[in-house]
Structure 1
Amino acid sequence: MPAISFQSVSKTFPSARGKLTALDHVTFDIEEGEFFGLLGPNGAGKTTLISILAGLARATSGRVSVRGHDVQAEYANARRQLGVVPQELVFDPFFTVREALRIQSGYFGVRNNEAWITELLESLGLADKSHANMRQLSGGMKRRVLVAQALVHKPPVIVLDEPTAGVDVELRQTLWQFIARLNRQGHTVLLTTHYLEEAEALCNRIAMLKTGRVVALERTSDLLKAASSNVLRFKMDSQLPAEFAHKARVTGRIVQLPAHDAHEIEDYLAAIRRAGLRVEDVEIRKADLEDVFLDVMSAKYQQRVAV
């Protein structure tokens, strides 16, 4: 039995131009104990899918279940299995951090939870803020509290919707160490993130959404194997030669070009020399998940789903 199952899930919204399709027959399972990544550009349907999973929205068609419990027909049982960290900072300004966690425990009928609350506070770097009012916390600290609230009832399935958006490096490291520990203990984790290096480092398997459709569903290692084997990276202040400018990913002065072999790298560098251009800090690296993501998103509905 999968930890999470999406079966032909579609979601449409009314709009001035008719129906807007946010999800289009999304189908995949997440197995018990997996660390699973759900990736896609803004507007791809990731948050809509998670909202349906959490019972905050209703699918137009299809079925979603959590550990065998249908999220609509068995909402209470399904919700007890989930701990969801939302994108938005939502908090009650009238309670301290520890009080907020006690109240959250009560929502799930969990009593005598002080030992676990204390462990959460220590593991997420909140121990010295336990008696602070939620209004007094910084944005990063409030996000730590959201993570603690999602985990306070020890859910077997953890859903993280952009948990490190806009937070500092320390929180990211603290959070991932703690979540990785829970995953090793058997908790299933579903992660959405725009930090693709996090997904590459953490996720065993990845689904990519584009305009509400699954366009890739494979093990992370297999996705990386399918990418161009190398990337030529350098810095320059001039425009690239027109013959390969369309292939480049340019960020400020940094240029990155896909290269399948040494011959292709030589061709790039020879064209740059012929154009009389100067480059700095030349290096060759292996393709990463960001390269794969851009390749998949550039192909119109080119589906890469492992059987």
Structure 2
Amino acid sequence: MTTQDGTTTGTHRLAVDVRGLRKRYGEVTAVDGIDLAVRHGEVFGILGPNGAGKSTTVEILQGNRARDGGEVRVLGSDPATAGRAWRSRVGNVWQDESAPVELTVRETVRQFARYYPRPRDPQDVIALVGLQEKAASRVKSLSGGQRRRLDVALGVIGDPELLLLDEPTTGFDPDARRQFWGLIRRLADEGTTIVLTTHYLEEAEALAHRLAVIAGGRVVAEGEPAALRRRHGTEATVEWTDPDGTPRGERTATPTRTVAELTARFDGEIPGLRVKRPSLEDVYLRLTGTEGGAP
């Protein structure tokens, strides 16, 4: 059943259901037949290099960019036609800062709360993102990490069922990035469904229950991070030290067998033994065809 504002009522197994999504910019195909299925309550990561189609996909999910083909349902509705009631259920954190710089943090969050029918308490949201001590500070005085926290506050003030985060930690130093991860985990623990785009491998593995790896506008792999490593990782590296002190190493698809052979050869303990299995980064570089380059 569909209401006048375009929202489909009823229970839906998926928070985001995308099939055959396509988008072109002139002669360039940015999104080339993407399928995505995001379950309610999970953190879903979209991983890929710059220009892979991640941001375009999220903009279509937000209802802020028209698609050229495919079917898209977000919280049961088509973002292209959904109305204000649907938009109040979806929170967005843009790549660009959205807060007015002359207002204080408290004034900004209270102002944005007025845009929603059932907002969260502004003071609670300020505490949630860790800006209590900056509540009376003007936005222009905040650090980059603090401004990003404020962006998240504005994204969740409407108490959304779904939060869309597009490259949320670009430009963060390592400490600020890890603090931000803690915030995302708290939101997920509260039951918020989160779709996160990133090109940081560590971030994707730390936050996402499942991942879609996009390259050239297509999904080239999807699944839990550990499952992707098992499915798409190939050879492991077994390292050891010979009795004369010479370090040795061997790439193998059967590391357990190699270790067993070494155990027999050394008649017990293997000096300097180390087994290095394919990391998510190894899998990512292979899937996206960027071996030898940065993600």
What range is the shorter-chain TM-score in?
0.7 to 0.9
Gaps of 5+ in 1: 234-255, 267-280, 300-307
Q: How does 1:71-110 map to 2 (within 5 A)?
A: 71-110=79-118
**In structure 2, do the counterparts of structure 1 residues 292 and 128 end up closer, same or farther at CA, with 3 Å as the change threshold?**
same
Percent of pairs with identical residues: 34
Gaps of 5+ in 2: 1-11, 240-248, 260-271, 291-295
Q: Does 1:21 align with 2:60?
A: no
**In structure 2, do the counterparts of structure 1 residues 137 and 181 end up closer, same or farther at CA, with 3 Å as the change threshold?**
closer
CA distance in 1, matches of 2:163, 2:251: 36
Q: Give the number of aligned pairs.
A: 257
**In structure 2, do the counterparts of structure 1 residues 231 and 291 end up closer, same or farther at CA, with 3 Å as the change threshold?**
farther
CA distance in 1, matches of 2:256, 2:204: 31
Q: How does 1:202-217 map to 2 (within 5 A)?
A: 202-217=207-222
Which residue of structure 2 lines up, in the alignment, with residue 297 of structure 1?
Answer: 288
Report deviation, 1:89. 2.4
Q: How does 1:92-131 map to 2 (within 5 A)?
A: 92-110=100-118, 113=120, 116-131=121-136
Q: How does 1:59-74 map to 2 (within 5 A)?
A: 59-74=67-82
Report deviation, 1:199. 1.2
Q: How does 1:159-174 map to 2 (within 5 A)?
A: 159-174=164-179
CA distance in 1, matches of 2:57, 2:132: 33
Report deviation, 1:3. 0.4
**In structure 2, do the counterparts of structure 1 residues 21 and 75 end up closer, same or farther at CA, with 3 Å as the change threshold?**
farther
**In structure 2, do the counterparts of structure 1 residues 185 and 257 end up closer, same or farther at CA, with 3 Å as the change threshold?**
farther
Q: How does 1:140-219 map to 2 (within 5 A)?
A: 140-219=145-224
Aligned counterpart in structure 2 of residue 3 of structure 1, from 12, 15, 21: 15
Residue type of the alignment partner of 2:126: L
Report deviation, 1:70. 1.2
Q: TM-score scaled to structure 2, two decimals?
A: 0.78
CA distance in 2, matches of 1:81, 1:204: 22
Report deviation, 1:262. 5.1
Report deviation, 1:37. 0.8
**In structure 2, do the counterparts of structure 1 residues 265 and 175 end up closer, same or farther at CA, with 3 Å as the change threshold?**
same
**In structure 2, do the counterparts of structure 1 residues 216 and 22 end up closer, same or farther at CA, with 3 Å as the change threshold?**
same
Report deviation, 1:131. 1.1
**Once the two structures are superposed, what CA deviation does each residue of 1:221-257 show, in whole Å capped at 9, x if it has no partner?**
2101121353479xxxxxxxxxxxxxxxxxxxxxx99
Which residue of structure 2 lines up, in the alignment, with residue 221 of structure 1?
Answer: 226
CA distance in 2, matches of 1:45, 1:5: 17
CA distance in 2, matches of 1:218, 1:100: 38
CA distance in 1, matches of 2:73, 2:102: 35
User: Are the counterparts in 1 of residues 234 and 253 from structure 2 also a CA contact under 8 Å?
Assistant: yes
Residue type of the alignment partner of 2:36: F
Residue type of the alignment partner of 1:120: V
**In structure 2, do the counterparts of structure 1 residues 97 and 9 end up closer, same or farther at CA, with 3 Å as the change threshold?**
same
CA distance in 2, matches of 1:258, 1:99: 59
**Once the two structures are superposed, what CA deviation does each residue of 1:243-277 show, in whole Å capped at 9, x if it has no partner?**
xxxxxxxxxxxxx99653459999xxxxxxxxxxx
Provide the aligned C-alpha RMSD in A.
2.7
CA distance in 1, matches of 2:60, 2:96: 16
SS of 2:171 mapped into structure 1: coil
**In structure 2, do the counterparts of structure 1 residues 209 and 99 end up closer, same or farther at CA, with 3 Å as the change threshold?**
same
Q: TM-score scaled to structure 1, two decimals?
A: 0.76
CA distance in 2, matches of 1:146, 1:99: 14
